[in-house]
Amino acid sequence: MVVTMKVLVCSDGSPSVMEGVKCAVNALRRDIDYTLLYVLTERGIYESYKHLFREDLERIEALVGDVDSEKKTARRIFLDPLCTHMQEQGLAVRAVVREGHAAEEILDEVREGHYDIVMLGAGHSFSASRLLVGSTVTEVMRNARTCVMVMHPARMHITEQHR
């Protein structure tokens, strides 16, 4: 019997996580099942999108609706581009959007999906959203009963953000 490794890749939709995963794609094994996860927090897709992509505010206003439509929108905006990129590189990947507290939802997905590795992005800024992500990373690292990898954005991106 062939046992396939399962890897959960958690994304907050930020450009640094997207670029980090895209950079790692060439090093990722093709015989692993990958799942991309985005957690739709209580504040909703509109606030998440507004925070990450303020210049596209008008685009999201037409997409705000019920939770199911928010999940579909979150998948289309935050996961589908990365999912497509990974599939084009020959990786088996699926996208999942969950709703709730980020760390709790990640841990639930880890337990339910029996993942071997969890990959999380960690930012280096001190904005409120990055502090939330930082606490999410800490909570997942403390409570996941599997290997946890933390991806940090490249230093050149950090320098560009503070100019």
| 146/148 Cα distance (integer angstroms) | 6
Domains and CATH numbers, the chain: 6-161 (3.40.50.620)
Which sign does the torsion angle of CA 39, 107, 21, 137 carry?
positive
Q: What are phi and psi of 122, to 5 degrees?
A: -130, 125
Reading the block at residue 54, the tokens are 């303020």
CA separation for the pair 68, 74 (Å, rounded): 10
pTM: predicted TM-score of the whole model, two decimal places: 0.71
Note down pLDDT in tens along the chain; length 163 residues. 565 889 999 888 777 778 888 877 777 888 889 999 988 876 555 556 555 655 565 555 555 545 567 788 888 888 999 999 999 999 999 999 998 888 999 999 999 999 999 998 775 444 444 444 458 888 999 999 999 988 776 654 444 444 4
